[in-house]
Structures are given as structure tokens and as C-alpha cells.
Chain A
Amino acid sequence: MSLPYLASLALFSIGLYCILVKRDLFKVIYGICLMEFSINLFLVSLGFVTGGEVPISPTGTIVVDPLPQAMVLTAIVIEFATTVFLISVAIRLFKQYEDTDISKMRRLRG
């Protein structure tokens, strides 16, 4: 049963829909956050072993894979930093255009 794969797929689709359709900058940031959640969930569920132990001083032989967990641990922190970067860009654009609607930002069009 690959329920977590399907769940992360659905979450990724929701985030993609949010980025493509919504016009508010904060909604776009929420969509990026949702896609990050789905990727983290997908990577962690790739390393899960049925009936496995926590990888902290294991006693048995069946242990959950520690490698994706370490990678996702770094990814979560980086995602927070990039999210704050996007938020600061949104604040800066609001100061310039008095709005966070993407279609109002005329000067962005090339």
C-alpha cells in the first residue's frame, strides 16, 4: 500500500495549482510551502521500513533508513530560510506597489 506516495502527490498538485492560479503573493508563498511539505513527506516515506526501529542506538537489525532523514533535516531548515527570503521580497514589493497582487505590478512585465 503506497498511501504516503499518493498523499504527497496530492499535496504537490495542490501546491502547484496554488502557484499557477492564485494572484496574491502570499498565496504563491503558501503554495511553495505546500510543495516543500510534500517533498519532505515523500523523501521520509521512501526511507520507512515496516516494523523498523528509530535510528537512535538500535538494538535489532531492522532499522529505519537514517540517510533520508538527515537530508530532510537540512532541507527543512533551508526551506525556512528561503521562505523568509520570499516573504521579505513580498514586503518590499508591497512597499513599492502598495499591493500584493501580481497583476498590479506593471513594471515586472518585460
Chain B
Amino acid sequence: MDLLMGFLFIVIIASAIAAVELKDLLAAALALGACGFFIGVVFFLMMAPDLAIVQFVVETLTLFVLVIAITRTHRRSARSEPVRIRAVLGVIVICIFLLFSFFVIPLMTEFGSPDQRVSQHYIDRGIEETGSENLVTSVLLDYRAYDTLGEIIVLFVSVLAVSLILREKPKGGG
């Protein structure tokens, strides 16, 4: 289990580096899709089958949309090299971030033994109170339905924004 997860993390990070560094945009999109699919496998190993299904399906659709968009912009590869000042700046920011996180990680709870004060109620009484055997669905649509309401409002508004942006003939100055 640990060995398998370590191997999966190595593959995920390798495909992430490939997605960043590849010149061909389509190949980089495929590497990004591989990263997402392996993260779905990790979700499955972490006992979250709902998340694994959603991650697989959404990743497929993301890959589809990315390929359509890249072929519509008629430019397959990123030809420009990064400016050196920007690269140095990026490395400095990442070093600060990593330093901060290495101080924070020992303060967090150990992996595999979380603090379940709220969720213990859901686990103990969730099936009787909501009638849903799948506790994730009971949290999603009963205990925290307000979050789902906010989420579908975000979906609604984002589709509205996409429809405004992708109009064929923009009116006015544009």
C-alpha cells in the first residue's frame, strides 16, 4: 500500500513536470491528463470511490475541452523561452513557500489519524438521520446542502460568463 502510493506519487510528479516543461501544447495537455488520472487512482486508494469517479469523468472532459481549444487557436507549441529574471523570481518565491511549509508540516496531524470531531456525528448517526447509505451524499445534499446551492450558483454564473466571452460577433468596441 505504502509502496504503491509512493510509486504513484513519483509518476504524478513526473507527469506534472512533463506538463510544465514540454514544448508541444497538446503533449503537455496529455501529460496533465495523466497527472489527473493518477490522482484519481490515489483517491481510490484513499477510500474515496465517489471522488475517483468524479475525477476520472471531469478529467476526461477537461482533456477534451483543452484539445478543442488548442486546435482552435492554431498554435501547437509554446516557442518562447522564459525570461531569466522571471525564472529567478519564481525560484525565490517557491523557496520561501517551501521554507514556510517545512515549518508547518510538523505541526499538522499525522497522516492517517485525523481529528474527527464533526464527522463522528455524521458517521454515527448519518444513515438514520438522512436515510442515505452513502455518507458523502448525505453530507453533500442534507447536512451541507447550502454548499451545494452555492456550488450550482457558481456553475450557473460561470456558464453565463463563458457565453458572454465566446460570442461570435462581439458588439461594440470589444
Q: Residues on A close to B: CB < 8 A?
A: 1-7, 9-18, 20-24, 26-27, 29-31, 33-34, 37, 40-41, 44-50, 52-58, 63-67, 69-74, 76-85, 87-92, 94, 96, 99-101, 103
From residue A89, how far is it (CB to closest CB) to chain B in Å? Answer: 6
Instruction: State which of B19, B46, B51, B174 has its C-beta within 8 Å of the C-beta of A34.
Output: B19
CA distance A79 to B144 in the complex (A): 19
Is B73 a contact of A91 with CB atoms below 8 Å? yes
Partner of B46, one of A33, A44, A71, A100: A44
Q: Once bound together, how far apart are the Cα atoms of A67 and B115, in whole Å? A: 12
Q: Known: A24-B78, A103-B80. Contact between A92 and B119, CB under 8 A? A: no
> Which residues of chain B are within 8 angstroms of A56 by Cβ–Cβ distance?
49, 133-136
A77 pairs with B151, CB closer than 8 A: yes
Contacts of A96 in B (CB 8 A): 174
Q: A66-B135, A74-B147, A92-B165 are in contact. Are A30 and B19 (CB under 8 A)?
A: yes
Q: What is the count of residue pairs linking A and B with beta-carbon distances less than 8 angstroms?
A: 241
B112 an interface residue at 8 Å Cβ cutoff? yes
Contact partners of A100 in chain B: CB under 8 A: 73, 75
Can you give 8 A-B contacts (C-beta < 8 A)? A1-B111, A13-B97, A26-B25, A49-B112, A65-B119, A71-B147, A85-B165, A92-B165
Known: A24-B78, A64-B46. A3 touches B20 (CB 8 A): no
Chain B positions within 8 Å of A, measured between CB atoms, are 2, 5-6, 9, 12-13, 16-17, 19-20, 25, 28-29, 32, 35-36, 39, 42-43, 46-51, 54-55, 58, 61-62, 65-66, 69-70, 72-73, 75, 78, 80, 82-83, 86-87, 89-91, 93-94, 97-98, 101, 105, 108-114, 116, 118-119, 122-123, 126-127, 133-136, 138-140, 144, 147-148, 151, 154-155, 158-159, 161-162, 165-166, 174
- Cβ contact within 8 Å between B135 and A44: no
In the complex, what distance in Å separates the CA atom of A67 from the CA atom of B90?
A: 35
**A45 with B94: in contact, given A77-B58, A91-B72 (CB under 8 Å)?**
no
Query: Are the C-beta atoms of B159 and A55 separated by less than 8 Å?
Result: no
How distant is A106 from chain B, measured CB to nearest CB, in Å?
A: 15
A6 to B13: give the CA distance in the assembly, Å: 11
A88 and B29 contact, Cβ closer than 8 Å, known pairs A17-B91, A78-B154: no
The answer to whether A55 touches B135, judged by C-beta atoms less than 8 angstroms apart, is yes
